[in-house]
Amino acid sequence: MIENTTPVLLVIEDDQTLARSIRSYFEDYEFLVHCSTDGTEGLNLYFEHHPDAVITDLQLPGMDGIEILSQIHAAAPDTPVIVMSGSGTIQDVVQAMRQGAWDYLIKPINQISFLRYSVEKALERARLIRENNAYREHLEEQVTKRTVELNEVNRQLENKNIALREILSALEDEKDAVGKSVSNNVEKIVLPLIANLRIRISDEDRKQLDMLENQLLQITSPYNESMGETASQLSPMELRVALHIRQGLSAKEIAQIENISVDTVSTHRRSIRRKLGLTNAKINLMTYLETHLEVPTSN
């Protein structure tokens, strides 16, 4: 906003000669001057014209200078009010300053130039106050604007993070689904085939088959929910024996498939029960494995 280049001055002084002198002097310096010799009228002129600065006497008809000063300060504390007084007592000075006077001059004023210096100094101070207030308001507006922008950016980032987490979750679910599908196919198809193949091959080939079976179990174990906890407690041979027991094979049939003795099958069976904590002989191992080792029987 472009400020008015012509400063407006209000003079409230009951000494008409002094008031005319002040008016004439400041008009020579391109001030627009309003004058009043009555305190009440002077205050009305203030609210009508909103001058840039006010010069007021303390002793006035209608309303004294302290009351004028108090009301102007309450309405517009940044308006410079310069007090003139003929008494010049300390009490008057203190009271005027407490009510918001910007300067205090004692009459008679020998040189009006002193008064002009006081007014111009007050106007400069008022200008700096306005500029500082405007700058502060501008900064507050900028801070508010940037806060809104940052909140919007944060909201967008949060939305993107949510979308990214959903995508990653979907990919992880898809990965798990593929892994479980592979694990299920291994259990349904490959492991039964390996078990049937084991009876028909040589001891040397059986070792290679054992290695293959162990690798398959390691690959599928992260995705095998049904047998993961139980299987982790058993050795590869014990796991194969457990799978055979789960399928309802007898010790003799297991011995033939694994090419071991029936006594060895019994030893593995006891080890399986011990590792699974099945100390109660009434608990049927096959029934337990059907629940905890849910591996479908091959067709």
Q: Where are the domains of the chain?
A: 8-110, 178-292
* pLDDT at position 26: 95
CB 124 within 8 A of CB 3: no
pLDDT tens digits along 150-179: 888 888 888 888 888 888 888 887 877 777
Q: Calculate mean pLDDT across residues 224-253.
A: 77
pLDDT tens digits along 86-112: 776 788 888 888 888 999 988 888 788
- Domain 8-110 fold is Rossmann fold (3.40.50)
Residue 69, Cβ density class (10 Å: 0-12 exposed, 13-18 middle, ≥19 buried): buried
Mean per-residue pLDDT over the chain, rounded? 84
| 298: pLDDT strictly greater than 50 | no
With residue 298 as reference, give the H or E element that holds it: none
| 223: pLDDT strictly greater than 60 | no
* pLDDT at position 296: 43
Radius of gyration of the chain (CA): 51
* pLDDT at position 33: 96
Q: Centre a 10 Å sphere on the Cβ of residue 97 and count the other Cβ atoms it contains.
A: 14
pTM of the model: 0.49
Dihedral over Cα of 244, 249, 255, 259: its sign: negative
CB 295 within 8 A of CB 216: no
In the three-class reduction of DSSP (H, G, I as helix; E, B as strand; rest coil), residue 14 is classed as coil
To the nearest 10 degrees (0 to 180), the angle between helices 203-220 and 112-185 is 150
* Of residues 157, 180, 286, the one with CA closest to residue 226: 180
What are the beta bridge partners of residue 33? 9
Helices and strands: H and E segment counts in the chain: 12, 5
